[in-house]
Chains A and B, each alone.
Chain A
Amino acid sequence: MTELTDLGIAAIRDGVRAGDFSAREVAEAFNARVAGAKALNAFLVETPDHALAAADAADRARAAGEAPKPLAGVPIGMKDLFCTAGVPTTAASHILEGFTPTYESTVSQNLWDAGAGMLGKLNMDQFAMGSSNETSAFGNVISPWRRSDGGNAPLAPGGSSGGSSSAVSARLCPGATGTDTGGSIRQPAAFTGISGIKPTYGRCSRWGTIAFASSLDQAGPMARDVRDCAIMLEAMAGFDPKDATSLQLDVPRWEAGLSSDLKGKRVGIPKEYRVDGMPAAIETLWQQGVDWLRDAGAEIVEVSLPHTKYALPAYYIIAPAEASSNLARYDGVRYGQRDLPEGAGLQDMYAATRADGFGAEVKRRIMIGTYVLSAGFYDAYYTQAQKVRALIARDFEQAFERCDVLLAPTAPSAAFALGEKSADPIAMYLNDVFTVPSSLAGLPAMSVPGGLDAAGLPLGLQIIGRPLDEQGVLDAGLAIEERAGFAARPEAWW
């Protein structure tokens, strides 16, 4: 018999509904799996009781003949960026050590209302700033994948949602929440051979999600396949009056609408995404993706996004600027750590608290943000970046006059080894070259696994859609998934 932990969200949901197994059996199996995977460092907090309580509620409801909730019996992992009532939440930063929220984020509450349980809080890059999970104050997350060359170099699970990607690909949970500011769902999904979707900005409430760059931050699901992402996103999304940028729209029934028949659809191939030095395996996979979508009935057109090369520098003005403002709240007064040197005044307390509490990358970004917003530089940096952002969004608008979705690689390389890029911030930033433009434009985008490179590591394909067209993105993702037949999984060494 298949192990319960090999099942995805849809299979667990359906199996619990049919009575093939109990929700409690599922929760116990995953709890044991989480407890046995400490070497991955994917979880910051384990919450087996939360998972069991939700499972027991699902089993009781079924015994009582009640209509099943959408995620009844499904345990998930929760990125530590989401505030969870009574469960420590740190955003993987020392400055929030000891912080236990008294309230629940809207996204996590939506998941619990849908019947899901929580296996634990997932490690991540500190304040979601990073592409490799090396900026966590609580140690690197290790990818469950290893190169097939026999070397055991620990690999990056991607970032910032690296605990989520590591846990889902290692089958520690069937799905996990992620957040995506410049690629933090899609790049880790690509690095670990799983699927992940960032919906249109405003679909998921940001309330109770620790803020990084508010005009970009968006939550989304990470799971093993496209259907599981659709199911989970339906539960996470929805209008929330507590978030001023929440979209007042009904949540479409994405799962029911799934169709991999792309007849009549046009897929755009952005020519500017062919960057110098792209590994041949990624080039080949991209072409393979084109062929798969053509096979699914789509027409392929070449499109141009002329301002693509300016997306990353614009992002590294806008995101740090917003971060420097958002992170001003960590001052040692209302929550989190306080560092009060002997005889220090209030200003010294702020400066000492923040120097001690924030990691190097967070401080670097706060300082960049402070600089670009400072008097005399504001227009040259920040206003110019916002104008370039408008041009990048216009590029997409014009491209979508000629096509329905765009196809591109998710990341410019397969997973790299931990430590390989951490000495050079810009080399690390370049990892997000294909994911940042759609983030700046607020578009829905997803990564699905396409194949393996020569070293046996997963590579992802990215689909970018029009605003609010998550369905088109999921459908194209499904068409790729069905044709890629990606079945590789990391062998358990942990």
Chain B
Amino acid sequence: MSVDTSTVKKIASLARIAITEEDAARLAPELGNILHWIEQLGEVDTAGVEPMTAVIPNSLRLRDDVVNADPLTGGGIRDALMTNAPQAEHGFFTVPKVIE
């Protein structure tokens, strides 16, 4: 699989990573080589094989339907959540204006 620079730019845009023309030119053969290498999986006969999504059979649990079943992952910790925000005001995360 060869990857061209316009594909690289499209992937970068989907991944929300800004790249320059030089980055795209450098990444195109690099990603192409890796994708070419992983394409050998195509030769494996997987007819009738179910895709594996969990390695250990483990049924998902339901927690009790109560508020703050676990205080660490429950609510009421707004200030703790905000302490690492690059920018926060009045208890909100702030970002550049989105609506023109």
Contacts and interface: CB of A to CB of B under 8 A. Distances in A.
30 contacts: A215-B54, A245-B56, A247-B56, A314-B38, A316-B34, A316-B38, A317-B38, A331-B16, A333-B85, A333-B86, A333-B95, A334-B84, A335-B84, A337-B86, A338-B87, A345-B98, A346-B98, A349-B96, A366-B17, A367-B12, A368-B35, A370-B15, A371-B35, A381-B38, A385-B38, A388-B44, A388-B46, A390-B49, A391-B44, A425-B30
A350 B14 CA distance: 11
A389 interface: yes
Contacts of B41: 310, 313-314, 317, 381, 384-385, 388
A301 interface: no
A374 B11 contact: yes
Contacts of B86: 332-333, 335-338
A41 B34 CA distance: 31
Contact of B40 (A102, A313, A351, A358): A313
Contacts of A488: none
**Interface residue tally on B, bucketed by range:** 35 or more
Interface string B17-48: 11100000001001101110111111010100
Contacts of A93: none
A366 B15 contact: yes
A324 interface: yes
A201 B28 CA distance: 35
Given A241-B70, A333-B95, A335-B84, A354 B17 contact: yes
B42 A333 contact: no
A103 to B, nearest CB: 6
Nearest to B20: A355
Given A241-B70, A346-B98, A391-B44, A313 B16 contact: no
Contacts of B12: 351, 367
**Interface residue tally on A, bucketed by range:** 35 or more
Given A367-B12, A371-B31, A426-B37, A442 B56 contact: yes
B70 A355 contact: no
A242 interface: yes
A362 to B, nearest CB: 10
Interface string B64-100: 0000001011000100110111110000010111100
The A interface is mostly helix, strand or loop, or mixed, namely helix
A258 to B, nearest CB: 24
Contacts of B73: 242
Nearest to A332: B86
Nearest to B59: A248
B21 to A, nearest CB: 14
A23 B29 CA distance: 55
Contacts of B53: 215, 386
Interface string A419-442: 000000110000000000000111
Nearest to A337: B86
B77 to A, nearest CB: 8
A393 interface: yes
A316 B34 CA distance: 9
Interface in A316-350: 316-317, 324, 328, 331-338, 340, 344-350
B55 A201 contact: yes
B84 A336 contact: yes
Contacts of B44: 307, 310, 384, 387-388, 391
B85 A350 contact: no
Contact of A358 (B17, B37, B61): B17
Nearest to B97: A345
A22 interface: no
Contacts of B61: 241, 244, 248
